[in-house]
Amino acid sequence: MTGFDIEQYWNEQTQSHIKTANKTAISSLSEFKNIIKTCTKAIKLGNKILFFGNGGSASDAQHLATELTVRFINNRSPIAAIALTTDTSALTATGNDFGFEHIFSRQIDAIGKNGDIAIALSTSGNSPNIIKALEMARSKNIVTIGFSGRDGGRMKELCDQIIIVPSDITARIQEMHILLGHMLCGGLEQNLGLSA
């Protein structure tokens, strides 16, 4: 026996999640409304959403782009979205030739256009490749949106709109990011009139 109390662990983790969700619900509604409006306008004008992040946030970027291009709740027309985390050739070539900090900014420079949306997911908000990507997006008049945590990090100053999850715990921040991402997908389906 290790002395590990599963029931105590269960209660601590679930309560921590609930507490963070409640804080996020209180602090982020206004910014979430603005993000829905911004993304809806961009899609209506024929633009696309570019998602990117590192590690677990890379998985979230892929997850959310797929929810938009395929379906979230209902069968409907696809919504233009790309995860900049999926092309291993682009990621490794850029990392090798220019440095890991350029893996997202290089892709944004190549395929991003004025009016697109760049959504950065970062629990710290300080990753150099996230910062360079947001700087590139801004230089191309791409709207920058962030999902972060802690104090928002350096990306806070580079995002036109940002939701900062009120937590210092990486797992809680990531859990809120996927919740917010799912709400973004569902909100876009409804706001664009694509839900059944």
Q: Which two tokens stand for residue 168?
A: 């210092």
- Positive or negative torsion for Cα 89, 95, 98, 100: positive
Q: What percent of the chain has pLDDT over 70?
A: 97
pTM: 0.95
Q: Is residue 12 part of a domain?
A: no
Q: Is residue 24 part of a domain?
A: no
- pLDDT (tens digit per residue) in 67-76: 999 999 988 8
How far apart CA 97 and CA 6 sit, in angstroms, is 48
- Judge whether 129 and 142 are in contact, CB under 8 Å: no
Q: Is residue 19 part of a domain?
A: no
For β-strands 143-149 and 117-121, DSSP reports them as parallel
Q: Is residue 101 part of a domain?
A: yes
- pLDDT (tens digit per residue) in 5-34: 999 999 999 999 999 999 999 999 999 999
pLDDT, position 51: 98
Domain residues for the domain of 80 are 29-191
pLDDT, position 74: 84
Q: Is residue 7 part of a domain?
A: no
- Helix or strand holding residue 50 (H, E): strand 49-53
Q: Is residue 5 part of a domain?
A: no
The CATH number covering residue 127 comes to 3.40.50.10490
Query: How many domains is the chain partitioned into structurally?
Result: 1
pLDDT, position 78: 95
